[in-house]
Amino acid sequence: MTQTLRMLAKEPRILKKLQKEVDLLPELNVETTRNCTYLAAVVNEALRLCNPLPSGAYAATPPSGVQVAGTFIPGNTQVIVSHLGLMTDERYFPRGEEFVPERWTREWDEGIAEKKAFVPFGYGLHSCVGKQLALNEMKLGIASVVRQFDVVLGESYSEDVWQEEWKDYAVLQVGALPVKFLERA
C-alpha cells in the first residue's frame, strides 16, 4: 500500500487516470471493483516493482536433482529465484524498472507483460493462499484513498533516503513515506 501510494504521488498522470476509473463506481466493494482494469493494472505493477518479498521464497530441488537451463542442480538443494530480479527482467517486462500500469492493458504496444514471469505470490504447490484476499484488500484500499484524496509527495521526501531505507529482511521493510492527502474538490 505504502509503495503504491508513493508511485501514485510520483506519477500524477497515473493517479488522475485511476481516479477517473474509480469515480465512475456507484460504491466500492469487491464486486464493483472486479472489472476495473486500470485499478488491477496499478496493483499488478505495484506488486511487480515493489514486491513485499523481493528475494522470493526458498524451495528445494527433488531428490533426483533437476536440470535448469543447461545446469544440473543436485537433489535436496535449497534454491531461490529472486522475484524482483525476475519481475524486472527486460526480456519479460520491457522498460522493467519503470512503473507503467499500461503494460497490463491492451493500450501497451510493447508486448503484454509476461504472465509466467509475474510471481509476486510465488508459484506452484506452495504459492500464496492469501493471494485473492491480498488483491482485494489492495484494490479496495487504494481505490478508497484515491476516490477521496489527491496524493502528493511531502516536501521532505527524498528519493535517495527512500532507497537507502529500503531493507530486504526476506519481507520488505520500507522507511517513512512523507506524503500529503489533499481532499479532492
**C-alpha cell recorded at residue 137:** 484488500
In three-state secondary structure terms, 152 is strand
**C-alpha cell recorded at residue 69:** 537451463
Judge residue 14's burial from the number of C-beta atoms within 10 Å of its C-beta, 0-12 exposed, 13-18 middle, 19 or more buried: buried
Binding of ligand HEM by 52 (CB under 6 A): yes
DSSP state of 123: -
Residue 131 and residue 134: Cα distance in Å, rounded?
5
Scanning the structure block, which residue is given the C-alpha cell 501497451? 108
List the one residue out of 144, 155, 157, 148 whose CA is nearest residue 182. Answer: 148
DSSP state of 76: T
Q: CB of residue 59 vs ligand HEM: minimum separation in angstroms?
A: 7
Question: Which one of 29, 35, 76, 127 is in contact with ligand HEM (CB under 6 A)?
Answer: 127
Cβ-based nearer residue to ligand HEM, 105 or 136: 136
Q: CB of residue 113 vs ligand HEM: minimum separation in angstroms?
A: 17
Segment near ligand HEM (CB under 6 A), from 10-18, 109-117, 123-131, 153-161?
123-131
Residue 18 has a CB neighbour count (10 Å cut-off) of 23
Binding of ligand HEM by 116 (CB under 6 A): no
Binding of ligand HEM by 134 (CB under 6 A): yes
Question: Which one of 48, 121, 143, 151 is in contact with ligand HEM (CB under 6 A)?
Answer: 121
Binding of ligand HEM by 122 (CB under 6 A): yes
Binding of ligand HEM by 53 (CB under 6 A): yes
Contacts to ligand HEM by CB under 6 A: 52-53, 57, 120-123, 126-130, 133-134
